[in-house]
Structure 1
């Protein structure tokens, strides 16, 4: 059931697992990072139009990324064509050339295993998500992971069996593999210390990973699924005791390694239970890395499939269209995309065995981390010299929060993960192109400076940063025009009406989200509840609500006060009247923010 693979493939995996970025390259990367600091300073502090200049630079990098990923696809199809032409005339190849050809690694196969994980998902949405994989020709095996085995979790298993009634199976995992890995690794380290052997983390990780893989093989053999055989299982659902998303991802990835080895598949597509793929989402994301053995991962662009549900989803959809498409492209043109988005990620399976254990057991600020799973996977790839691509011209549809409170919680959770990976793993900048550091500096320092400047002005009336309305307006016009022409997500006329409001919707809370998430990096709550009716009905405590969105209430009070102060100075209102206007405006702003977040939850 578990045939041996070609020696060339095993050798390739060993080479890649042993690969590290050369010291001279790391030195040059550090020099490049040092040069990025004055470059960023010159494009901001010494420019009359810093925001406009920034969007022009971002557009240039976005276009370069489009050029790079198209080149990757051309390389893949060229390689495939060369192999096919070589097979057309075997009689013309002499014996020596034939032997040489047979000794070369197999070309990349555009087939993948898809792993879809979730917990207490809305049944109708989960059904749509699973159904969408039927249209993908690249998906040869579907692995669904359910993080929960209580009565409330059976809906997802029933949906899975309904969508895939044939060649499918549901397996109950006796113990989450994350817990198994943690226990085995601790035992390995304890034994080494008991025998006074030096503790080698990489060796402990390798032993733990091998144990988990053998355990997964045993479970598959026990259930006699006949994977890879005619009529065998092609759709498998794994259930385990509820932990968290990272826990079910780890279990699913271990099983994916085993199943992919049986099928001879080289790529894994990873997604969430609320994500809907298009017919070409998997194939066109994977073919950006298929021809390059040094490319370990890629992700696609995202659109919102529930954009018409509420006003918040319409605004969020326009944010995805206008902002995320551009901002994610900046470092990606050098193969250093710093976030493989959870809903739409592809991996070269050869890259996973070495990184899964350190990824799952990550600690930051003295705590185990469970909410930054996608970013930390990306960081682990970059630290080991793998390229990470962003297929910006490929789309996958994801779900977005329907209320302001849930949207803010999601943004804070994402921002915390960004801070942790950007600030607490400085070694990644030595192993990656300096453009990764440049993108980090712009993302981390820009909103923080803006937040501090606004708060400073509110309390002192002193300007730390000069904002130019013409600069901001020009930035909006240039960014919107570019997106209309080049964005693969073609907005309708109605959708375009939400573009300008979405800019305010995104950028007004951004400095506060950035500052609050930085101050609370160690918080490990998921923030938003799952979409199953039982989870949505649960109300959170007032204390928790204030912790998660109270910063927005305070921030809107400050912004409203700043606006009143500016208008008071402009119209020359006397001091005591201006102070009264500031107080009233701040109270109204805070009340409005409270009513759409804490008050509405």
Structure 2
């Protein structure tokens, strides 16, 4: 799949991947399944048989978060140790057993990477800031910008690229998206072998399509004579192709990244979005968590919001990132089984990509092609093949967040759909991964669903399925906020801290509805939110589409309003007709308020 002219560790490791060198042994898979079975009663005991279930949950989550911090710091120390042992003159200084062990390990990897930044009709000023941010990264030796569109409106991004990187840069128009090429070649290979009565397996067909795409990318680079790797050669490359979707431009960018990396002898790829701003150490400190471990296929960093002061919604969202996402993503990560390498801040070991790119691109779920769960399905494919996936929770990258309630809800629904698809429709991943991945999935999938069903059940029957403890919830909030204040690498300002408590309501009140609606509409396609270019922002969606995408929130808030009225009616000992009136008024007011800030806005 790769030429044999690249010596050393990377070439050997790629060869291992091509022959299935990361398949998880059957004995390990059996133990993982046993562990998953034991996780079910453990989760039941910590919820149904605990007086303080959500407090206990946050304590367990904090413990896993600290363990993850310890693990990633150990990975960095191992990398630094290998760097010292393999550095100039270090062989004469090796006296102890540890040095002898390190000397026997493969050559030290270099902390150099390619960066692939993909997008479509991004706001020009934001795109410029995103590209500029890579200039401060010592780790990035080559930047590849992928633009999913070649029409007049897409030229804004091309002009920004030219302005930010006027020298040692080039722009290439891709005649046909590589995803379509791969699909056609794969189908043709299968048809030919079937005609010859020699059925080809899926993996072999994927390899044929992958090899064809790599050779095609090589030919395009040779045709443009970019002199990649030469002192006066191209170090910043912009690829543009006909508009498809994010997955389509990612596939093309990753193919070219493999080819360019092979030329430069680079082992890692940083993948990000056109609205993401990296800090000087974002790439380096994410990649050094996987650099020393040849079994680590990917990692991602934590996220902060760079437009947090834009609107009330962005201020609340920024506090959500600070208070919730830092903790929730750490639970399975301490065992190298992080289940989502977030799109804005992901690093890959390039050796892991050739085997997974074609099946990732051609993914089908519920009989439909999937295009909106690109980051999670990449992670699933790595875990299925036995690669470790890390979460560098102490590293930060700045991303953009929606500025309105409607756009925020659409984003949350899209993410939730991807989560359901990867968590529920790929059960084999739990056999190839540590049982903690299954435990984290069970908490994430069943908790909000039970909460939503309990609220709806009480609204219609006045019967409680779940007993909520106010003291339990308050203690959970206190412990979670205290821990984040002490340990979260994102140091909120005094003004930012004022939004923490409101953000808890902002996040958790819609969460059960988002969870339930996304589960009911898992097969829905479309990105939901429009891109940030002025032309895209000006487009108006139909009323029917608006109700489909955010109408669930209007209904949910009406139900919550009715539940609150019922509880108050019981507390104040209202007679039945007073309760009915209170429920009707509260339901109507809550529904109207939700409609006003979403569909009506």
Could you list the runs of 5+ residues in structure 2 that have no partner in the other structure? 96-101
State the shift of 1:592 in Å: 0.2
Tell me which residue corresponds to 1:73. 76
1:251–1:308 Cα change, 3 Å: same
**In 2, are the aligned partners of 1:3 and 1:262 still within 8 Å (CA)?**
no
1:473 and 1:319 map into 2 onto residues whose CA distance is 17
Q: Is the 8 A contact 1:401 1:407 kept in 2?
A: yes
- The residue that corresponds to 2:137 in the other structure is 136
Question: How many angstroms apart in 1 are the aligned matches of 2:90 and 2:455?
Answer: 67
Matches of 2:550 and 2:9, distance apart in 1: 54
Contact kept? 2:267, 2:350, Cα under 8 Å: yes
- Following superposition, the deviation at residue 12 of structure 1 comes to 1.9
Paired position in structure 2 for 1:96 = none
CA distance in 2, matches of 1:225, 1:514: 48
**Partner of 1:61 in structure 2?**
64
Distance in 1 (alpha carbons) for counterparts of 2:231 and 2:81: 32
1:342 aligns with 2:343: yes
Shift of 1:160: 0.1
Alignment partner, residue 97 of structure 1: none
Cα-to-partner distance string for 1:133-169 (whole Å, 9 max, x where unaligned): 0000000000000000000000000000000000000
Name the CA distance, whole Å, in 2 between partners of 1:488 and 1:414: 24
Within a 5 Å distance, the mapping from 1:299-338 to structure 2 comes to: 299-338=300-339
**Residues 1:447 and 2:448 are matched in the alignment:** yes
* Paired residues of 2:124 and 2:157 also in contact (CA < 8 A): yes
User: Which residue pairs with 2:47 in the alignment?
Assistant: 44
Runs of 4+ more than 6 Å apart: none
CA distance in 2, matches of 1:87, 1:169: 41
* Contact 1:285–1:298 (Cα < 8 Å) also in 2: yes
Asked if the contact 2:86–2:107 (Cα under 8 Å) also holds between the matched residues in 1, the reply is: no
Shift of 1:85: 5.5
**Pairwise CA distance, 1:8:** 4.6
1 CA distance for matches of 2:315 and 2:264?
42
Match of 1:29 in 2: 32
The reply to whether residue 247 of structure 1 matches residue 254 of structure 2 is no
Once the two structures are TM-superposed, the CA of residue 199 in structure 1 deviates from its matched residue by 2.6
Going from structure 1 to structure 2, the CA distance change for 1:39 and 1:412 (only over 3 Å counts) comes to same
Give the corresponding residue for 2:98: none
Which one is further off, 192-201 or 291-300?
192-201
The offset of 1:105, in angstroms, is: 4.1
The aligned counterpart of 1:470 is 471
**Once the two structures are superposed, what CA deviation does each residue of 1:432-470 show, in whole Å capped at 9, x if it has no partner?**
000000000000000000000000000000000000000
Displacement, 1:84?
1.2
Cα distance between partner residues in 2 of 1:105 and 1:578: 73
User: Please, what TM-score do these two structures have when normalized by structure 2?
Assistant: 0.97
- Counterpart CA distance in 2 for 1:211 and 1:5 is 20
State the alpha-carbon separation in 1 of the partners of residues 432 and 50 from structure 2.
31
Indicate yes or no: 2:215 matched with 1:200: no
Preserved CA contact (<8 Å) 2:186 2:205? yes
Report if the CA contact (8 A) 2:341-2:379 is conserved.
yes
What are the Cα deviations for residues 484-541 of structure 1, in whole angstroms up to 9, with x where unaligned?
0000000010000000000000000000000000000000110000000000000000
Count of residue pairs the alignment pairs up: 593
Contact 2:10 2:351 in 1 (8 A): no
Instruction: Specify every segment of 5 or more residues in structure 1 that has no aligned partner in the other structure, as ranges.
Output: 94-99
TM-score in terms of structure 1 length: 0.97
Assess if the C-alpha contact under 8 Å between 1:33 and 1:429 holds in 2: yes
For the residue of structure 2 that corresponds to 1:473, the secondary structure is helix
CA drift at 1:576:
0.8
Would the aligned equivalents of 1:172 and 1:240 in 2 still touch at CA under 8 Å? Answer: yes
Deviations 1:376-410 (A, max 9, x none): 00000000000000000000000000000000000
Q: CA deviation at 1:472?
A: 0.2
Give the 5 Å matches for 1:10-409: 10-17=11-18, 18=20, 19-84=22-87, 86-87=89-90, 89=92, 105-409=106-410
The worse-fitting range, judged by mean Cα deviation, of 16-25 and 123-132 is: 16-25
| CA distance in 2: counterparts of 1:113 and 1:264, whole angstroms | 10
Question: Is the Cα–Cα contact under 8 Å of residues 9 and 105 in structure 1 kept in the other structure?
Answer: no
